[in-house]
Structure 1
């Protein structure tokens, strides 16, 4: 194989007069047999293209949707260097060796390419001549970087990592990272890619490309970088209010009576619930895989099931996949246009026995989501079979997609956009986007809501919440979810969740007297702590196999585990006004739900690589309990990639555990602010580690000084009551603002300006709270309401609360507290 290593130092000094030409977005130059084009998409986003001279490189990005702006750009040459300067960014191209450097507009260094860091190696991609490409950069020695997707490695900073990026069940890859220095880099390639960071260089290497294509963006801080990534790849729509309530699921409800019965039981118990999810096989056997129809006789009256759920004031998601069984109508239609792949996928056998009986292969095949006609067919069947029944949203499983029994020739599979190898990692973007775009085209009354197992850059624009796959039920797995969610959020994709309790939980059934892991204290403790963490993620969803997850499986009211589960769910509902208002800031101001502490406290070196705490929204510091305190930790192993691992390591059973005893854990409070314990209102100065008292019933939470925190009513579902008589907590010690956002909760009228906001502003020196005049309106809006104002006041080491109740009619109000 002939290799072209374009070391750009070899040519010596060339004439500078013809080395570059200006374009409408930047410049293009030829250096050492390499074409280099620098395009300014905005004053702080730059695209870099490189390809071998004599070749062509034309590419339509699947992720980037931004149209380049007209940028005021100064181009100047200083010796061998060409300087392109906007008001935010300076890009420097060395015309002798092709090296590119990125700087602030004032010349302060941000990131440098490594000299001779671009390589192109000839590659035969299923008969198409192309290249394997690589680009290396040089980072500062102690420079933390974040992102790369959902990673199960337990790390926040991804320095000193080598990661093979091919979408799979539990690792969702986004070829993007951002630095604590306030810049981000998006490597726009969809083929199998290796990210490698060593002491010498940081690089992306991709198997297939006609050229190098990456975007550099400068935001000044993490929020600015997230804003740049969304500006480039798409903004985040609003989700319905009900999606922020509690969701119950399991693998799987085997009849419509069972599913509806779960919702009824929650209503009888008075435990809040907003959603129920129906997993696979409502369609029948594996040959009918993903038929998008209720062919299983246990679901004989599906419309009644949907209506019953709605009459109970709950919502229903249903499982759909990226593959189809050979007996389905979809299979035949897609096969007729050549839109099915011949790769191994789940389920492998038509028999439902375990292990799979390969004497009876299922014949299930993945569809070509890159093909627009195939996406049309997919939606046509989904629309007629399920959306027409008023189902509320989609659980899009296996969107990576499942790729089992891998053969190298699988990557040669032809897709609409070339080989499967060429576009492999963008599959989730295409299949999720296909459903989202089609639903938006036919309905403005129901917001798109998709729960998906995989993602790629740009997926935030599709109304999708990504979960972290079929992870194991273990403390180690729980610990890994915090940095997994934070790094994913730092890629600009804010909606993330995990299977509360972990998916594979079979080991907790063993050595337990009634065969139910829900009565096993080892699983009970893990589940409660995971549920408490889940209350502070963008979607609170209980799900898994082997061990049932419904609250009544864990005991009854008055017992510590039951009460802890109920209280975690009710805490979530009390925060709905805060959550929904945060959701608006995510959509309108490019904010983020799960905020790594480095986003807000980058000057505190102790948080630069902190993987066990985070901010939820702008005010709440969350420090989940992620180590067993009452029971021994059980090591659980499972192979998520090959499917259902029934051979889990045998768990230990314990006879009695006193879950009523208090425990403690260490919590670090970032410097630069004062913090208040959410439960006791005790005040702490930041920049210290404290010993926090915990119980099975509480998760350590701390509120930042200057926060204004709205707490909602006690409800059974999100839309049960309008937000009258909200409790508004003001935490003194700093100035602060909070904007309460409201709209119709589940349509797209908010995009037309049909919504309302009320801004609360706290002046700490004057001890004055100002409530603004209401801005905007929407049908059904409260014209007047009560606010119960409470100030959490620093007084020595403890805090006292003073309160006032006011009637608010939409006019500005100022209160001395």
Structure 2
């Protein structure tokens, strides 16, 4: 009996010990690695992975499943990161040098704070719903967050909703002609969130929660970046998804285009006319159908009889020191070599795309279907084939850059079953929104592999996270020629820049301009004062974007279409084109700041003046670089506002050419006034008059058709270049430096060979400049670096707003210039 009692006691002791061990295991049920930790909570697995002390990836997926994913956007690997973990009941506190994360191990919810305890963002639930994706069992996934009530957020891509802050929005994110989606937003509080999912996604912001909800995903997968400010967030996003390469200097000059030049003689003649008029020009674009009819769609070959000698055409253009870009698409007609080769290998999709008809008529004549099909850009072999024909048919002739149209791509039917289409990476639904990233990346990678002598530059209609690494500038699609569209472009470009993509532009004048032809002859819509005013204001805005490109249909846009020298409209256009060229040393140096230091061209006012809450939602002003405050005029002042409502299909309908009353006796020389807000935290100099204004106030500015409100931040140094007809016509050996005092200032003048990749090997120069406001001294510091053909001796003309001026010789050594 005693023996039995002893065994029972031992058994009880054993049970208690085991129970204690189980409790201990439960309390510390996470697994730690050098780069993060993982745990199980509420029927799901949760992984926390660090990509540096300020960037963390969160992965959540249902228990009993696995999560394996190679990101299409993120190219950085998780990093060994120093962090500590403390545990208190159900809460894990994870701390790095930059960030503190609280993890609830019971429900899996995560909250982010600064190391000092300031709340940044907290999750509000994750959701997984079973979904059949073209026969593959998977999930639809949702992640919700809780934002502060008055916290503005920016980003999400190129949005045509006219808003800067995207609070209280409900947006279906599926790439299309005029909306380009990047599932990333950043907050004025200094953090950003990248939702790494490529399927159709609903972004919803309501007072109680903000969420991303995607149709397809094995799990929740997002990145949290704490950058402290907007530049830091953008740097974090580019650190994950790729840095911005330098593009050629000439691409920052003026581009002329239209839909479309119909022969090589017409194309070359445009360049000749600009040279004869002595109006600067660097880029000319040949839109579609240089390949012939729609059955030969996107043959990427000059097989149209209207382009009988493409090599001569290109040589003629180069002989006038201009550059040619040609239109290439994501689809092919059935009579092309590309179609036939890809079709045999199952590399073509079957959904409806543009153009639908083999005949160039509107509406499409479906008695003669075009047979055009989109190619599988997700397939690396298909991308190889694409480049093989592009290189042979066009690049080898000397074409300089690519206009990649329809990179979203055009998907006309939008049938749900279309998304079941099989791609190299799974269903089209699964990878839908990343199509432009793959298409653009394919051309960039192949050209880089072919030559380093010519920098890649791609003008593209769509974008996704990471596309900034591919030398691409995204335009906002076929928007209407309307004041509403112009107003929308300003916040569209700013929000796109705030996703980490710095290169944005829009069709100057808007694309569909047919309504301005009513009452005017085919070629004279450009004489319509209503269009003239819109076009000039759009061009003035375009002067202060990363690409200054005139393009559209219905109404021709070349400067000589608007009159001649001495005419007020012509003179306004010429004035701003020439201003753009004098700004090239500044613009190119900003481009280097973007590439080297992760800066941005287009800067929402909240980026640099976040302490001034009035800037948080200003959607009609911005900084161009860190010095120019641009307030484009976005409403008509001389003519009535024309309301234009068409989409990309209706815009092609040319049948309504009814007469309407035309304006006469519009006096564009009259002065008008416009309101401008000058952010607090700086003084501002009127660029035109040098008048100084204090920040933190709204002012009335007098303008006319040839001017817009343009200010320079005190504490700025801006280099201006020579009067030229093309970007590299004259060396920068005699630049003007305008110094705007009021605080200390720094600027780095950057130069290289302007169009190759030798800068990646260190072949470039930087000349640092510093303005000491107290001593009124400008220091032009010793030049750093060298490259073949660099300027050894130069002079700078230094000008202050009060008219003081000094000329100094500079031979690459430190020079001090003192103003009394």
TM-score interval, normalised by the smaller of the two chains: over 0.9
Q: Are residues 1:417 and 2:425 paired?
A: yes
Structure 2: how far apart are the matches of 1:432 and 1:309? 25
1:428 maps to what in 2?
Answer: 436
Query: Which residue pairs with 1:56 in the alignment?
Result: 66
Partner of 1:637: 645
User: Is the aligned partner of 1:665 residue 2:667?
Assistant: no
Structure 1 residue corresponding to 2:488, chosen from 454, 477, 480: 480
Quick one: distance in 1 between partners of 2:523 and 2:240?
52
1:159 and 2:167 matched: yes
Higher mean displacement: 65-74 or 634-643:
634-643
**Match for residue 321 of structure 2 among 274, 296, 313:** 313
Deviations 1:623-674 (A, max 9, x none): 0011101111100111125662436797652012111111110000000110
State which of 336, 353, 360 in structure 2 corresponds to 1:345: 353
Separation in 1, partners of 2:613, 2:101: 29
TM superposition shift of 1:128: 0.1
Aligned position for 1:692: 701
Offset of residue 688 of structure 1: 0.4
Paired residues for 1:600-679 under 5 Å = 600-640=608-648, 644-646=652-654, 653-679=662-688
SS at match of 1:297: coil
Partner Cα separation in structure 1 for residue 618 and residue 531 of structure 2: 26
* Alignment partners' CA distance in 1, 2:776 and 2:814: 17
Structure 1 match to 2:237 = 229
The equivalent residue for 1:85 is 95
Q: Secondary structure at the match of 1:68?
A: coil
Residues 407-452 of structure 1, C-alpha deviations (whole Å, 9 max, x = no match): 2210000000000000000000000000000100111000000000
8 Å contact from structure 2 (residues 27, 89) kept in 1 = no
**SS at structure 1 position matched to 2:437:** helix
Matched residue SS, 2:540: helix
CA distance in 1, matches of 2:375, 2:93: 47
Rounded to whole Å, the distance in 2 between the matches of 1:478 and 1:32 is 49
Distance 1:230 1:78 in 2: 35
How far residue 479 of structure 1 moved from its aligned partner, in angstroms, is 0.3
Cα shift readout 1:752-809 (whole Å, capped 9, x = no counterpart): 11000111100001111111011111111111011001112xxxxxxx2100001111
Aligned residue number for residue 815 of structure 1:
817
Aligned counterpart, 1:585 = 593
Cα distance between partner residues in 2 of 1:109 and 1:17: 26
Aligned partners of 1:306, 1:416: CA distance in 2, in Å? 36
Q: Does 1:243 align with 2:251?
A: yes
Alignment partner for residue 19 of structure 1, among 12, 18, 29? 29
Are the counterparts in 2 of residues 635 and 649 from structure 1 also a CA contact under 8 Å? no
2:122 is aligned to 112
Q: How many residues are treated as equivalent by the alignment?
A: 796
Structure 1 contact 471–503 (Cα < 8 Å) conserved? yes
1:37 partnered with 2:39: no
The change in CA–CA distance for 1:562 and 1:14 in structure 2 (over 3 A counts) is farther
Deviation at 1:23, TM superposition (A): 2.3
SS of 1:146 mapped into structure 2? strand
- 3-state SS of 2:800 partner: strand
Provide the rounded CA distance (Å) in 1 between the counterparts of 2:747 and 2:331.
45
- Describe the superposition over 1:356-396 as per-residue Cα deviations: whole angstroms up to 9, x where unpaired: 10111100000000000000000111111111011100000
Aligned to 2:384: 376
Secondary structure of the 1:213 match is strand
SS in 2 for 1:537: coil
Report the Cα distance in structure 2 between the residues aligned to 1:60 and 1:221, rounded to whole angstroms. 29
Contact residue 517 and residue 657 of structure 2 kept, 8 A: no
CA distance in 2, matches of 1:500, 1:174: 24
Report if aligned partners of 2:362, 2:653 keep a CA contact under 8 Å in 1: no
Cα distance, 1:86–1:18 mapped onto 2, change above 3 Å? closer
1:406 deviates by 2.3
Secondary structure of 2:725's counterpart equals coil
1:515 to partner: Cα distance: 5.5
**Counterpart for residue 802 of structure 1:** 804
**1:469 aligned partner:** 477
Q: For 1:621, what is the secondary structure of its paired residue?
A: strand
Distance 1:600 1:720 in 2: 35
Within-5 A mapping of 1:347-746: 347-512=355-520, 516-640=524-648, 644-646=652-654, 653-746=662-755
Tell me, yes or no, if structure 1 residue 71 matches structure 2 residue 71. no
Cα pair 1:274 1:314 within 8 Å, conserved: yes
What is the root-mean-square deviation of aligned Cα atoms in Å? Answer: 1.2
**Structure 1, residues 293-340: CA drift from partner, whole Å, max 9, x if none?**
011000000000110000000000000000000000000111111100
- Whole-Å Cα distance in 2 between the matches of residues 31 and 587 of structure 1? 42
Does 1:281 pair with 2:289? Answer: yes
Q: Aligned partners of 2:603 and 2:323: how far apart in 1?
A: 28
How much has 1:555 moved relative to structure 2? 0.2
Tell me if the contact between 1:412 and 1:420 (Cα under 8 Å) persists in the aligned partners: yes
SS in 2 for 1:299: coil
Q: Give how far 1:103 is off.
A: 1.2
Name 2:178's counterpart in structure 1: 170
CA distance in structure 2 between the aligned counterparts of 1:725 and 1:540, rounded to whole angstroms: 25
For the residues of structure 2 that align with 1:617 and 1:232, how far apart are their CA atoms?
23
Aligned residues of 1:247 and 1:276 also touching (Cα < 8 A)? yes
> What is the match of residue 4 of structure 2?
none
**Structure 1 position 144 matched with structure 2 position 173:** no
* Shift of residue 529, structure 1, vs aligned partner: 0.3
Q: Extract unaligned runs of 5+ from structure 1.
A: 1-12, 793-799
The answer for the alignment partner of 2:108 in structure 1 is: 98
Q: Is the 8 A contact 1:639 1:645 kept in 2?
A: no
Q: Give secondary structure in 2 for the equivalent of 1:689.
A: strand
Q: For 2:342 and 2:34, how far apart are their aligned partners in 1? A: 42
CA contact (8 A) 2:99 2:226 kept: yes
Q: Corresponding residue for 2:216? A: 208
- Partners of 1:636 and 1:649 within 8 A in 2: no
How far the C-alpha of 1:107 sits from its partner, in A, is 2.2
C-alpha spacing 1:707/1:237, structure 2 compared with 1 (3 Å): same
- 1:788 maps to 797
| Equivalent pair of 2:131/2:138 in contact (CA under 8 Å) | yes
CA distance in 1 between partners of 2:134 and 2:569 (Å): 56
Greater Rg by CA: 2
Counterpart CA distance in 1 for 2:812 and 2:653 is 58
**Alpha-carbon distance in structure 2 between the residues aligned to 1:512 and 1:313:** 35
C-alpha spacing 1:194/1:14, structure 2 compared with 1 (3 Å): farther
- Taking a change above 3 Å as real, the CA distance of residues 517 and 409 of structure 1, as seen in their structure-2 partners, is same
**Cα deviation code 1:133-189 (max 9, x no counterpart):** 101000000000000000000000000000000000000000000000000000000
